[in-house]
Chains A and B, each alone.
Chain A
Amino acid sequence: MNGNLTQPLGIGFPYIATLPADLYRPGLIDFVEITPETICRQRGTGTTAEIEIIPSQMNLARQTCGGLPIVVHGVELSIGSAHNWNDAYLKMLDEFQASWSFVWHSEHLGFQTIAGDDNSTLEIGVPLPLPATKEAIEVVASRSAAILERYRVPFLLENPAHYFSDFPSDPEIGGDIGLMRGVTEKSGCHILLDLHNLHCNAVNHGFDPFMAIDRMPLSRVMEIHIAGGSWRDGFWMDAHDGRVPGRVWELLEYALPLTPNTAGVVFELLDEHAVRLGAKAIEEELRRAREIWNLHWSN
């Protein structure tokens, strides 16, 4: 149900409808990471909201991806919201899986909704990190286990980038890594190790990202993200707006040999920056990722 993959997928890239379809070709890309919300619309708001797949967008995505395998990378679940997670997202994902199967799916370890004064669901407007507490582990682990049971494919949680320097934690959990370790151990889910998020946190909070990797439950890592970012107001921001910084390439070279169950590396890019960056630059980043990937697998 949630075991490791027997066959690594290779190098992946997000589905971005505004990019030329010929970018999604075998040889350059081995698999496609789809954020299903990008081909959906929401009907209604609050507790009555439904997330509907737009058939024409789904068809276009399938046509573009051709026969490439896909993985799902969701953004709307809010798995760590104590009051409730986003049931509408899961209903949509049920429908998605019934029509287009995915090898695994992933979400962000955080929360983005709270309960309103009338107990409705309020969107915060930005994802926020979880405190490293036993209660947070319980909430996320029980939901992750339920998701594994529901979809019967591996479920991965992504380490978030965040900008808070002083966040509550239980001493026995420690920090972000302890939180991730607790959730994976309790639920059986895997890790999507976002190296750019790790880089952001290392730059903004002043720690060594290589040492942080050493402390992670590395056998649980199944996917790695690399991405670009930029400076804003004195913070290195997880903007997904360009090429991968040199430090993140170094982290990839360091992490791959330590994570034997990594089945794919994805170069993440937001759609609003993809056209500006251009197909040529994207292909260069994908080729560089493949070189590192091939080197790792040849060893």
Chain B
Amino acid sequence: MALIDFQTALGRLVRVPDDKNPLRGLNLDTGERLYIEALKENAGFRFSVSIQRSWSIGRAAKSAHLTLSILPDNERRRLLDEWINSGAGTQSFYHAEADSFLDFIMGRLINPSHAHTVCQLEQATLRSSNGTNYFAAPDLFRLNSLECLLGRGRYAGLVRFYAEPGRLLDSLQKHEPIPPLSPEVMTMLFAPGLDQLFRPASIDEVNLWDRLDTPVAVGALLGEGHQQETFEILLNVGAVEYTT
């Protein structure tokens, strides 16, 4: 059996044991196919799969620790299972998958909810702290071009709190009941160029952030009433970036 075919078959089976067709595209004869099929019943194979699964769950859990801690046990388990069953959680550098895992969780949480807020917070913190290694304030001169496209900063985030943030985080840390959802929203901006990586966002900044869910030209934004000064402030801290 060619090494690459054997490794591909074994690797697929360990990554996703429920793979319906793990031998697709492989150059295996009947005997080799039977061998691979039989391997699935081997106790050592099953143990290796259980280690892989346990490590993958551990890596995923570390990458979304705070968010998972706020969820009920059964929901936490369901999300982790769904994520791992898709073949994720395998990256040794688990931070590389953390952003996608938080996206995956966020898409499955009720919005608004404290769980959704904590997920936003964890992702914004991850992005902005990561961004401190790479972010440099851009040249504002490009704003003079009305065709210039602006988008959300790749290392930035906006977090909407439906309770006083300190109180919410304190109750999570102390495993105390979390406060009820408040109709008043407090919005925090996270970006790599900010002192301590975050500060409260102004209404103008929130409006611009919400508008930039896809890139928009400077001319169009000005036409809608957004302010040049807001662009400059947010570009300087990495909350907004040029997308062309």
Q: Which residues of B contact A128 (CB under 8 A)?
A: 7, 10-11, 14, 48
Interface check A233, CB cutoff 8 A: yes
Shortest CB–CB separation between residue A295 and chain B, in angstroms?
36
Residues of chain B from 36 to 61 with CB closer than 8 A to chain A in the complex: 38-39, 42-45, 47-48, 50-52, 55-56, 59
Interface check B110, CB cutoff 8 A: no
Interface check A82, CB cutoff 8 A: yes
Nearest residue, chain B, Cβ from A54: B133
Interface check B91, CB cutoff 8 A: yes
Interface check A149, CB cutoff 8 A: no
Q: Which residues of A contact B4 (CB under 8 A)?
A: 82-83, 115
- Mask, B114-158, CB within 8 Å of A = 1, is 000000000000000000000000000000000000000000000
Nearest residue, chain A, Cβ from B92: A76
Knowing A37-B93, A117-B25, the reply to whether A163 touches B6 (Cβ < 8 A) is: no
Contact in complex: B48, A162 (CB < 8 Å): yes
Contact in complex: B93, A114 (CB < 8 Å): no
Contact in complex: B7, A166 (CB < 8 Å): no
Interface check B238, CB cutoff 8 A: no
Docked pose: A177 CA to B7 CA in angstroms = 20
Shortest CB–CB separation between residue B29 and chain A, in angstroms?
13
Size category of the binding interface on chain A: 35 or more
Contact in complex: A139, B3 (CB < 8 Å): yes
Q: Which residues of B contact A80 (CB under 8 A)?
A: 7
Docked pose: A166 CA to B95 CA in angstroms = 35
Q: Which residues of B contact A115 (CB under 8 A)?
A: 4, 8
Docked pose: A41 CA to B63 CA in angstroms = 13
Docked pose: A37 CA to B56 CA in angstroms = 17
Contact in complex: B11, A124 (CB < 8 Å): yes
Q: Which residues of A contact B44 (CB under 8 A)?
A: 162-165, 204, 235
Interface check B71, CB cutoff 8 A: no
Q: Which residues of A contact B11 (CB under 8 A)?
A: 111, 113-114, 122, 124, 128
Nearest residue, chain A, Cβ from B90: A125
Interface check B15, CB cutoff 8 A: yes
Residue from A83, A122, A125 with most neighbouring chain B CB atoms (10 Å): A125
Q: Which residues of B contact A95 (CB under 8 A)?
A: none
Contact in complex: A45, B55 (CB < 8 Å): no
Q: Which residues of B contact A262 (CB under 8 A)?
A: none
Docked pose: A135 CA to B6 CA in angstroms = 12
Contact in complex: A41, B43 (CB < 8 Å): no
Residues of chain A from 232 to 248 with CB closer than 8 A to chain B in the complex: 232-235, 237
Selected A-B contacts with CB under 8 Å, 25 pairs: A37-B93, A42-B96, A45-B91, A45-B96, A45-B97, A81-B7, A82-B3, A83-B4, A83-B8, A111-B7, A111-B11, A115-B4, A125-B14, A125-B59, A125-B90, A126-B14, A128-B7, A128-B14, A162-B48, A163-B45, A164-B39, A164-B45, A166-B38, A233-B50, A235-B47
Binding site for A on B (CB under 8 A): 1-4, 6-8, 10-12, 14-15, 24-25, 35, 38-39, 42-45, 47-48, 50-52, 55-56, 59, 87, 89-93, 95-97
Instruction: Please name the 8 residue pairs, one residue from A and one from B, whose CB atoms are nearest each other, closest first.
Output: A125-B90, A114-B11, A42-B93, A163-B44, A82-B4, A126-B52, A123-B90, A82-B3
Interface contacts beyond A125-B52, A133-B3, A233-B50: sample of 18 additional A-B pairs, CB < 8 Å, sorted by A: A37-B92, A45-B97, A75-B92, A82-B4, A83-B4, A113-B11, A114-B15, A117-B25, A123-B91, A124-B90, A125-B55, A125-B59, A126-B51, A128-B10, A128-B11, A163-B48, A204-B44, A234-B43
